Amino acid sequence: MFDGKREGILSVYFCAGDPDIDGTVATVEALERAGVDMVEIGMPFSDPIADGPVIQGAAANAIRQGMSVGKLFGQLKDIRARVKMPLLLMGYYNVAYHYGMERFFERCAECGIDGLIIPDMPFEEYVKDYAAMAERYGVKMVFLVTPETSEDRIRQLDEATDGFIYAVSSASVTGAQKEFGEAKEAYFARLASMGLRNPWLIGFGISNRQTRQAAEKYARGVIVGSKFVTLLEEFRDPAKAASELLEALAK
């Protein structure tokens, strides 16, 4: 998925439809021009229980403006003529399920979506009902692990997928942090010692150079969400927000 890049991978999340309902493609293009390696496009949901206030607010704003998964697929239908980097959709199981899972995977394939992150999809349900479907449409499924995830479960996820592992920095909700404590670094070190087959990236809390460097001592790269969503809403200009993000991560 990362074209052989071994370190320093930067993935950025934003919520489709926020702050501009028609800004999805422009935001993706701006992030690619800025040098971001991968983008996670959020599908807004009315009850985003795993998200902090920044992403909750973005989702609520997107829904108020009329964003839906159908509209998002319409916006992305020609994205591969304009963008080359890996693209993932991220959101809640309810969104995809009510759209229709077969139809959802099919539209992902039509738009050139490389992978899906559905944090609340039970792993066993994925294996039983959707793994073959994902393979048929060429869409990689990415699962999250937390400090509480057992080694056995991590290895199960690693064996059953071939995209990357999303290592959540804590079991709390999303949101920017200034630094990681000893317990979190011990968790990162434990993951690094496991010799996982898939690359793994650290997300939740990456907002500055300190948190990025701490994560990259162990992982192939980082995922930034709340920090970019805040900048995007502040500047309402994807290129400016992307530039400010890269500056913040380099300070």
**Which domains does the chain show, CATH number per domain?**
9-250 (3.20.20.70)
Across 161-165, average pLDDT: 95
Strand partners, 117: 90, 142
16 neighbors 62 (Cβ within 8 angstroms): yes
Tokens found for residue 133: 């479907």
Give the pLDDT confidence score for residue 191 in this predicted structure.
97
pLDDT, tens digit, for every residue of 46-96? 887 778 899 999 999 999 999 999 999 999 999 999 999 999 999 999 999
Q: Which residue out of 18, 32, 37, 51 is catalytically annotated? A: 51
Q: Is 135 a catalytic residue?
A: no
182 neighbors 160 (Cβ within 8 angstroms): no
The C-alpha atoms of residue 227 and residue 249 are separated, in whole angstroms, by: 10
Mean pLDDT of the chain: 94
First vs last C-alpha separation in the chain: 28
Q: Is 162 a catalytic residue?
A: no
Give the pLDDT confidence score for residue 175 in this predicted structure.
47
Across 215-233, average pLDDT: 96
The C-alpha atoms of residue 53 and residue 56 are separated, in whole angstroms, by: 5
Q: Which residue out of 40, 114, 216, 244 is catalytically annotated? A: 40
Nearest-5° Cα angle at 127, 219 to 52? 50
Q: Does pTM surpass 0.85? A: yes
91 neighbors 123 (Cβ within 8 angstroms): no
- Measured CA distances, 7 to 107, 109, 131, 192 (Å): 31, 27, 28, 13
